[in-house]
Amino acid sequence: MAHERLRLLHLDSSAGPADESLTRRLTALFAETWRTHHGADGYRHRDLAADPVPPVGPAHVALGRRLERVGVVPPEAVGRLTGTAEERREWDLTLPLVRDLRSADTVLLGVPMYNFSVPAALKAWIDRVTFPGALLDAETGGSVLRDTRVVVVMARGGAYGPGTPREGFDFQRPYLRAYFTEYGVAEENLHFVQAEMALAGIAPALARFRESAEASFAAARDRVIELAGRAPVPLYR
């Protein structure tokens, strides 16, 4: 079954409203800039907070283990290997997400830091699309993400950069870097944009950091506009 090729897959995972969420504001700016430069064709937005991906269940795991024993199976053929109604339901939930990721030239992620890591909404998406063999080419065994560009837009309530007291508390950026590079995204195609000290604008105890927070957000805006304006990866790789 043919699937629409996506030039930009835009995923938001913030549980906050659009006018208050820094990641949503920045990803919306990216998407708007992208469409201005490259057109609206091949754009898809998924709101993982408003329309959450269900966590994987036992049937998903059982199906995945069966596929591990078989070897790399094209996603479109996995349905024939389901053995129960629960497995078919799990795969019906998974396949559209896998198709989107496999077909995307650029993946844009809005990722606020929740408790030093990523939101559960994003982790549920990651767990579901990382089905055994789903991100591999059935003919070559190589990753289908080798030419995919990934832009991760992050917001943190505090500061977690090099030299800060909480540098070692950042399990957001290292986790996403490890995940995407392990599954085939080239280092040069993986971009992180971050706005720090996001809570300075609302927390009285952090008021002295508001100027720093505003500068961080302004730098993130500039970086988002620059990345969105770059020439996209060719539609057919």
Q: Which residues are annotated as a binding site for FMN?
A: 14, 113-116
The secondary structure of 67-112 as a DSSP string is: HHHH----HHHHGGG--SHHHHHHHHHHHHHHHHHHHEEEEEEEEE
Amino acid at 164: T
Q: Please tell me the distance from the alpha carbon of residue 99 to that of residue 124, in angstroms, as a whole number.
A: 16
Q: Which residues are annotated as a binding site?
A: 14, 113-116
**Token digits of residue 77:** 């053929």
**Could you tell me the two tokens for 200?**
């300075």
Residues 6+ apart with CB under 8 A from 219: none
- Compute the distance between CA of residue 196 and CA of residue 138 in angstroms, rounded to an integer: 41
What is the torsional sign of CA 144, 51, 12, 229? positive
Tokens coding 157: 């309530």
- CB distance 39 to 135 below 8 Å: no
Sign of CA pseudo-dihedral 213, 36, 18, 108 = negative
